[in-house]
A = this chain, B = another copy of it.
Amino acid sequence: MKTITSITEMQREAERLRAEGLRIGFVPTMGSLHEGHLDLLRLSRRHADVVVMSVFVNPTQFGAGEDFTLYPRNPERDARLAEDAGCDILFSPDADEVYPPGASTWVQVEGPDAILEGTFRPTHFRGVTTVVTMLFHMVKPHHAVFGQKDAQQALIIRRMVRDLHMDIELLVAPTRRDPDGLAMSSRNTYLSESARAEALAISRSLRLAQRYVVDGGRDAQALLRMVSDELTRTGALIPDYVALVDTDTLEAIERIGTTPVLLAIAARVGKTRLIDNTILRAETIES
């Protein structure tokens, strides 16, 4: 595995690879890798000749008072895990080079960036779409892989790629869960043992929702009430939102039908904020 930190060197390497007719797959991450990230890498591996994984804790997607400085960083472990999972190039640009003094250019997907997560993290997606655009210009990939765990992020990036005519295919990998059901996240390391036990209500409530639909339930309000009840049962979890929305527009829906809908949850346990989601759809589950 090659390690690159210079943006110019990454661009030259990308040009060289493309000139050879090789397909570049790209997995952008903030490091502190877990099996979820490695799933993205393995998915990219199946569609690319050369897989680039970036590790960059992007300051602009953290709001004031969020966990930018605390965000877990494990560069040596990340390098080992990435190489073992088949990464060809580990790209770790320096924050000062990514955001040079006086940088003030933003890429923004107006609309879907202002709801759900955007309500609670108003500058978050602007930071994400800006850095992903930059990384695309550095890595010049044929495809890029994102996780279903961050469903709204995946949707917003899909919109950005379409709207700005980026010639890049997007792949979305399923959410990887621990055996107890908790969706893998670098932020899970913040959880104490007891907080983790409380956090399991999130994935449990998603399974309840799946069961509700399998059993013929179609009413959004009833489903959302059931999920909220499960989340708030012990009082340890504070939901930021529980939303049942169209997977393309993120607009709230009233009945579950044959079109897939997204059940998305954000909740805080202590100081840790967790998100999770599942796709619900009447016919697929019934047939």
Contacts and interface: CB of A to CB of B under 8 A. Distances in A.
Contacts of A7: 165
22 contacts: A11-B167, A19-B19, A19-B21, A98-B165, A100-B162, A103-B162, A103-B163, A104-B109, A104-B159, A104-B163, A105-B107, A105-B129, A105-B159, A105-B160, A106-B110, A107-B107, A130-B164, A134-B164, A137-B167, A138-B165, A138-B167, A140-B167
B164 A107 contact: yes
Interface in A153-170: 159-160, 162-167
Contacts of A129: 105
Contacts of A137: 164-167
Given A7-B165, A18-B19, A111 B107 contact: no
Nearest to A97: B165
Given A19-B19, A100-B162, A106-B110, 7 more contacts: A98-B165, A105-B129, A105-B163, A107-B107, A137-B165, A137-B167, A140-B167
A133 interface: yes
Contacts of A162: 100, 103
A100 B161 CA distance: 12
Interface centre among A106, A165, A166 (most CB of B within 10 A): A165
A188 interface: no
